[in-house]
Amino acid sequence: MDSKTDQEPAGKVASASPEVETPAGTPPAAKPAPPKTAVAAPAARVVAKPVGSLVESAPDPPVNKMRRRIVWSAIAASLVAYFLMFLRFFLPRSILEPSSTFRIGAPGDYALGVDTKWQQQYRIWVTRTSDRLFVIYARCTHLGCTPDWKASENKFKCPCHGSGYDSEGVNFEGPAPRPMDRAYVELDAEGQIRVDLARLYAWPKGEESKFDEKGAYIPL
């Protein structure tokens, strides 16, 4: 065997890569940096908490807090409403109705004929003749509609089924069975006409008229 195979000549570096001869006295070239390789991040460690320790939770976001407040407010409002309705059950109930008695001024405020200024407020007409003043309750005696005053025809005409009444409320056409009722009237201490719709004077069909009774008119 040749001895050259056992010993490397001086100036040669033993390496696995192909040998490169470098002249004697030159510094060795810097070794190339090893290629960077992606290093997997270490797996997160799961630490088991000891039993019985407090579990910390993240605070609720403000949107959740607001929603919770709204829900609770709605529930509280409903409970209050139900409670008030429950209390209302034990309170006496009263129906407020307009008074049947009212004043409509002095007789001198009315001219001869029919005055309709109180129709909307009290559902009455005031009729003045040469010797008396009376108040007609504006309700058709057929089925209860409110007739219209037709000044040009000097009559009341019911829009529902066509009944007609003269200026004193006496029926003369249509299905109305009798004249319209009149309300109680009197002069009070101040000379004002006081009307009471709770006291009506009628002229039932085939019966005697109540229109001449005291209280059915004011004599002039």
- Least CB distance to ligand FES at residue 115 (A): 21
- Residues numbered 135 to 194 that lie near ligand FES (CB under 6 A) are 140, 142-145, 158, 160-163, 174-176
CB of 119 to ligand FES, least distance (A): 15
Least separation in angstroms between CB 217 and ligand FES: 24
Instruction: Sketch the per residue contact string, 94 through 133, with ligand FES: x for CB under 6 A, - otherwise.
Output: ----------------------------------------
Q: How far apart are CA 203 and CA 197, in angstroms?
A: 16
**Nearest distance in Å: CB 218, ligand FES:** 27
Number of residues that bind ligand FES (CB under 6 A): 13
Half-sphere exposure of 142 (CA within 13 A, CB side): 18
Find tokens 């390496």 and name the residue: 15
Handedness of CA 185, 188, 193, 196 (dihedral sign): negative
**Total count of residues recorded for the chain:** 220
- Per-residue b/e over 171-194, b at no fewer than 16 CB within 10 Å? beebebebbbbbbbbeeeeeeebb
The 3-state DSSP class for residue 190 equals coil
Q: Which residue has the tokens 């003749």?
A: 129
**For residues 135 and 158, which CB has a smaller minimum distance to ligand FES in the complex?**
158
Nearer to ligand FES, 134 or 165 (CB): 165
Tell how far CA 185 is from the center of its chain. 43
Residue 93 Cβ vs ligand FES, minimum distance, rounded to whole Å = 32
Nearer to ligand FES, 104 or 136 (CB): 136
Pair 163, 176: CB distance under 8 Å: yes
Pick 176 or 185: Cβ nearer ligand FES: 176
Residues in contact with ligand FES by the rule CB under 6 A: 140, 142-145, 158, 160-163, 174-176
